[in-house]
Structure 1
Amino acid sequence: MRKLTFGMNVSLDGYIAAPGDDLGWSEPSDELFQFWSDRVGATGLALYGRRLWQTMNSHWPTADQQPGATPAHIEYARRWRAMPKAVFSTTLTTVDGNARLVTEDAVAEITRLKSEDGGPMDIGGATLAATAVRAGLIDEYAIVTHPALVGGGTPFFPALDSWVSLRLVEVRPFPDGVLLTRYETRR
């Protein structure tokens, strides 16, 4: 069975994006950027919601060809293009690159994908991840907390009908007061 991880940059007050989808508070250090790049390199399948897919796909397919691209950005762009992706959307009609479109029930499809052989899966996109969280499909949370209070926006965790018990498996500091905490879901 494949492991499903939900990991994102999060403000100290629990948001993945400030009002207006502002992400300026989460600019990564070189070390944190490398952490995310290594995650992409190790991901067997990335599950994207429509909005996150459109954001990522508007930049990373050609980021390594842009003037001034750093070696780290070139590496990330190549890893991102190579990483298999499933894009969940009821409004898109096509996706490109190393991605396939999923238009059917997200919970059923994620459950099916988890039962397959293959490398670990990451999920991203607030709406898609919230669906997986509520369905109890997340095996691990990788929360990269930034020392910023944004006061609102898109929350990392959705409202839940019941609590979920977690076990801390890693704590790792990054520059600028950023802290990774990884939790496994207790089953």
Structure 2
Amino acid sequence: MSYTAPVKVNTSVTFIAMKMRTTTFCMNISLDGYCDHTIGNPDEALMDYFTGTMDDVDLIFYGRVIYQMMFPYWEEVAKARSGTAAENRFAEKLISINRVVVSRTLDSADEQTQIIRSNPAEALQALKQQPGKKISVDSVSMLPELITAGLIDEFQLVIHPVIVGSGRRLLDAGSLQEKLNLQLADTIVFKSGCVAHHYVKR
């Protein structure tokens, strides 16, 4: 666990200020703001980018829909090495990371996955206080609640050069009570026309 220097207060009691884990939200979206996983066909460079985003992550916080979309598909790719070289690298990295999935209906999960039944914001807040690396949040349905609770520290949004006209919006109208101001930390432009933007909270 990472700590700052002790802070002395008037009561002569010394407190240790704990540095909380960073949470990062990563998602593909179209030019018109839809985030269905079928909007694009990532090339090798983009797959390697997604693999690289997990270098500093040791826990993924899923909603049920995306969890079931990712598993067991990528487990099978990693086991059989049935994808491209870049896909295999992504699969191997993904399945090595422990997972939490929030679901009221999921009956069971593998040994690397913990199921949480309710109160995702409360659960994520507790996880942020535990020792470890970054937590990657992978859920569109829980995003408004987690933003409102102040629990998302970074956004990594990959914009695909496509207009799809329908599907799941990243955020529905009225889902946030207040706007969230962000600061652009980095931008990567890929030959495919995709653009990855990395934002942090101000």
- TM-score normalised by L of structure 2: 0.84
Q: Say which SS state the counterpart of residue 73 (structure 2) adopts.
A: coil
Q: Say which SS state the counterpart of residue 176 (structure 1) adopts.
A: coil
Which of the two has greater helix per residue?
1
Q: Whole-Å Cα distance in 2 between the matches of residues 162 and 68 of structure 1?
A: 45
Q: Whole-Å Cα distance in 2 between the matches of residues 41 and 99 of structure 1?
A: 19
What is aligned with 2:116?
A: 102
User: What's the CA shift for 1:68?
Assistant: 4.3
From 166, 171, 174, give the equivalent of 2:190.
174
User: What's the CA shift for 1:66?
Assistant: 3.7
CA contact (8 A) 1:29 1:175 kept: no
* 1:147 and 2:161 matched: yes
What is aligned with 2:48?
A: 34
Q: Say which SS state the counterpart of residue 113 (structure 1) adopts.
A: helix
* 1:15 and 2:31 matched: no
* 1:132 and 2:146 matched: yes
Structure 1: segments with no counterpart, 5+ residues: 18-22
CA contact (8 A) 1:43 1:120 kept: yes
User: What's the CA shift for 1:67?
Assistant: 6.8
Structure 2: segments with no counterpart, 5+ residues: 1-19
What is aligned with 2:180?
A: 164
Larger Rg: 2
User: What's the CA shift for 1:137?
Assistant: 1.1
CA contact (8 A) 1:41 1:80 kept: no
- Paired letter, 2:51: S
- TM-score normalised by L of structure 1: 0.90
Give CA deviations for 1:31-82 in whole Å, capped at 9, x if unaligned: 0100111223431110000010101003011103447433222222221111
From 107, 117, 120, give the equivalent of 1:93.
107
User: What's the CA shift for 1:113?
Assistant: 0.8
RMSD: 1.6
Instruction: Judge which range, 112-121 or 46-55, deviates more.
Output: 112-121
Length, aligned pairs only = 181
What is aligned with 2:66?
A: 52
Give CA deviations for 1:95-119 in whole Å, capped at 9, x if unaligned: 1142111113111001111122210
